[in-house]
Amino acid sequence: MHQARGPRPDADNADMVEDGTDKGGTDKGGTDKAGGAAVGTDELGVLRRDYRAGTLDESELAQTWLEQFRQWFDTALACGLREPHAMVLATADAGGRPRARTVLLKQVDAAGFVWATNYGSRKGQDLAANPRAALCFSWVDLERQVHAEGAVEQLSSAESDSIFAARPRGAQLAAWASPQSEPVAGRDELDRRLADVSARFTRQVPRPEHWGGYRLRPVSVEFWQGRGDRLHDRLRYRRAGGLTGAPAVADAVNDALESHPCTEDDPGPLGEARADGRSWVIERLGP
């Protein structure tokens, strides 16, 4: 048996809540039916914070979602946030069964958000059956999040090659060794697979066919800034005429929009912004 080794919290990450009470290791909850110690409402209530770090107003919003994202991403970098390029990616299979997981942003431009993964993974299978997804960057220390929704496409082989080439050798070998999302017999099996591919590729490691990038082409990008008393600011760039919500209708409309440049007949309540040669509307959402 291996001894489990957990991450060690650093000073910034210690188990201290706002009032300085040490909650680490305390077990206040009862035992739930699944057999574990429950985490109770009282215990969680102590964590409540009011969000007062900033505001987001229409007057300060950039012309395009990309410019706005760039500004917020630069702030996240400047503040030293850990893994500011980490985003939660939500997909669903053909039957609508959802799954969310974290991936790293590899690139973002007017065409959309790019990440890389194993095409045979659960997310890869979901996207093959249902090529739509949602992304969420959660920058909690800044009391901000960014959401994007849209259609997903695989990158060209050349684009995936260049992302793969930029990976350290160890990560390249791991892409060969890991049957991502499949059960494996144990850690030993992974180590054995890694040893095998290390011996096989003594020099350059080619990109495996099953590994590559995806791009989400957004039909909406929402910028969320926490505000006091939970009356937050939410401003969304939406492809003019594009819909979020009722899936069957929204998907049909968004599919049509993705294949044809949209018209400018829907200026929205706050006017329109332009990105990628297409029209976008900006609208405020109830928090």
Ligand X SMILES: Cc1cc2nc3c(=O)[nH]c(=O)nc-3n(C[C@H](O)[C@H](O)[C@H](O)COP(=O)(O)O)c2cc1C
Residues that bind ligand X (CB under 6 A): 83, 86, 99, 101-104, 115-118, 121-123, 180-181
Report the nearest approach of ligand X to the CB of residue 264 (Å).
37
| Nearest by Cα to 227 from 126, 110, 143 | 143
Nearer to ligand X by Cβ, of 112 and 242: the residue is 112
Cβ(54)–Cβ(233) under 8 Å? no
Rounded CA-CA distance 90/99 in Å is 6
Kind of pairing between the strands at 144-154 and 112-118: unpaired
Report the nearest approach of ligand X to the CB of residue 18 (Å).
25
Nearer to ligand X by Cβ, of 177 and 282: the residue is 177
Q: Where are the alpha helices (DSSP H) in the chain?
A: 41-45, 65-78, 122-129, 157-165, 169-177, 187-200, 247-259
User: Which helix (H) or strand (E) segment is 149 a member of?
Assistant: strand 144-154
Report the nearest approach of ligand X to the CB of residue 125 (Å).
8
CB atoms near residue 66 (< 10 Å): 20
Report the nearest approach of ligand X to the CB of residue 101 (Å).
4
Strand partners, 146: 137, 223
Nearer to ligand X by Cβ, of 122 and 278: the residue is 122
Report the nearest approach of ligand X to the CB of residue 238 (Å).
27
Q: State the first-to-last Cα distance of the chain, in angstroms, to the nearest integer.
A: 49
Nearer to ligand X by Cβ, of 171 and 249: the residue is 171
Cβ(113)–Cβ(87) under 8 Å? yes
Nearer to ligand X by Cβ, of 180 and 198: the residue is 180
Q: Where are the alpha helices (DSSP H) in 62-186?
A: 65-78, 122-129, 157-165, 169-177
Report the nearest approach of ligand X to the CB of residue 121 (Å).
3
Nearer to ligand X by Cβ, of 166 and 256: the residue is 166
